[in-house]
Structure 1
């Protein structure tokens, strides 16, 4: 099977998933002597139109992990507007040092349902959206070596005459488990679904927060207002030049601190070829 173009296709509010998907795709493209291109659907305008791939395409599709799953706000786009039509697919997910649970399997299943023939899959660590401690600086040099190895193995598998027979094996459970639920020390559920960041006095009205919000949720007329849905990706928080955006909700802060206490260790990537 001749691969003419390798695509890195990704949703990456704070850049970690982009690094994962592009590194794997670039390495695979080099191994296969194929062209390389990207499609970024992070911002709302990137999800307006249908994107169709086909035979001769190898698509490395990346999303972050939220609550152990593919972000639910992305499901309509992934299930309705991306088509494989015989393209080879590689699902990749990036997680914030806790676990990726069933996200990789869920993304693989979505790709299969959309007409991709999956050949491999991988889960890699990026800095956690809530935290600057969990997965700080990742993917790092060690991760990059594994991403390179993964891309090379994908290329080698295809060059050796791989023929699709069944979905690529990846770790996870079927049926896909429910979203991970944050809990307090008394095992009570913490609901942060409607929590939104607030804006401090240091706001300089630069508008960067509204520009980088993947949900288009922040008002362009008053950047302190968030009338839309917030997915807690923290793009507005981490990209604010003055540190004006932050979360002050007690449940959110508790969950963040619990994650940092329980998972401040080096989680390792896993890939399957």
Structure 2
């Protein structure tokens, strides 16, 4: 198979998944000496179109881990909007220092169902969306070096088999249930209804949070109002230029404290070739 195009496809509210997927795609495109194009799935409008890929395409598909799997409100996009007619893929998930659990298995299963042949896959650590104390500064140079190793191995595999690769086998169970977040007391932390609050003394009404909300749930006229679903992605918190967004839900904060207590050690990446 002659690779003609490389694509980077990602949902990445806080940027870690985008960074890894785009770096992988850039390296693959360099090795194959072909064009590379990035396709974001971050915003509602970006998730409307069906993306169809063909033989000759290598698609790097990435997603963050939410509660041990793919984000449940974004999963339908991966299932329904990414289609393959003979395209190859590399699957990448990110996780915030606890565990990638079953997210990579789920992503590989979705890609296989949609007609992709997944040549390689990897789970990589990135700073947790909830706390800078969890995997600070990651992905770091060591993470990026392993990413290049995975990419180079995948390209070599594609060349060696002329694109007739067997689907990679990864850890995890695609059908497993979501991880149940826990609080400091070890009991389930229920914060599904938690939504970001706004410090109106800091807010300058720039509207950035409303424009960037992956669910389109922040009112553009009054950004203190969250009128739709919140997936706790932290994009509004992370990207607010004045630090005006925050969460104060007790169960959410207890879960964050538990993570900071129990998961501050250096977690490892894992690649599958």
TM-score when scaled to structure 2? 0.96
Give the 3-state SS of the residue equivalent to 1:84 in structure 2.
Answer: strand
After superposition, residues 19-168 of structure 1 pair within 5 angstroms as 19-164=19-164, 166-168=166-168
The equivalent residue for 1:183 is: 182
The equivalent residue for 2:206 is: 206
Taking the aligned partners of 2:247 and 2:69, their CA distance within structure 1 comes to 22
Q: Offset of 1:96 from its aligned partner?
A: 0.5
Taking the aligned partners of 1:75 and 1:36, their CA distance within structure 2 comes to 24
Q: Which runs of 5+ in 2 are unaligned?
A: none
8 A contact 2:106–2:173 mirrored in 1: no
8 A contact 1:29–1:155 mirrored in 2: no
Q: Offset of 1:249 from its aligned partner?
A: 0.6
The equivalent residue for 2:265 is: 265
CA root-mean-square deviation: 1.3
Taking the aligned partners of 2:163 and 2:77, their CA distance within structure 1 comes to 28
Give the 3-state SS of the residue equivalent to 1:143 in structure 2.
Answer: helix
Give the 3-state SS of the residue equivalent to 1:37 in structure 2.
Answer: strand
8 A contact 1:217–1:229 mirrored in 2: yes
Structure 1 segments, 4+ long, off by >4 Å, are none
The equivalent residue for 2:196 is: 197
The equivalent residue for 1:18 is: 18
8 A contact 1:52–1:83 mirrored in 2: yes
Taking the aligned partners of 1:202 and 1:184, their CA distance within structure 2 comes to 29
Taking the aligned partners of 2:8 and 2:160, their CA distance within structure 1 comes to 22
Change in Cα spacing, 1:165 to 1:8, as seen in structure 2 (3 Å) is closer
Q: Which runs of 5+ in 1 are unaligned?
A: none
Q: Offset of 1:165 from its aligned partner?
A: 5.9
Taking the aligned partners of 1:177 and 1:161, their CA distance within structure 2 comes to 32
After superposition, residues 230-241 of structure 1 pair within 5 angstroms as 230-241=230-241
Instruction: String of CA shifts for 1:10-60, please: whole Å, max 9, x gaps.
Output: 011110000110111111111222221111111111101111101000001
Give the 3-state SS of the residue equivalent to 2:89 in structure 1.
Answer: strand
Deviates more, 1:21-30 or 1:92-101: 21-30
Give the 3-state SS of the residue equivalent to 1:119 in structure 2.
Answer: strand
Deviates more, 1:53-62 or 1:144-153: 144-153
Instruction: String of CA shifts for 1:69-125, please: whole Å, max 9, x gaps.
Output: 011011211111110121001110010011100100000000011110111110001
Instruction: String of CA shifts for 1:196-229, please: whole Å, max 9, x gaps.
Output: 0100121111111111111111001100000111
The equivalent residue for 1:170 is: 170
Change in Cα spacing, 1:242 to 1:186, as seen in structure 2 (3 Å) is closer
Change in Cα spacing, 1:171 to 1:197, as seen in structure 2 (3 Å) is same
Aligned length, in residue pairs: 272
Change in Cα spacing, 1:187 to 1:266, as seen in structure 2 (3 Å) is closer
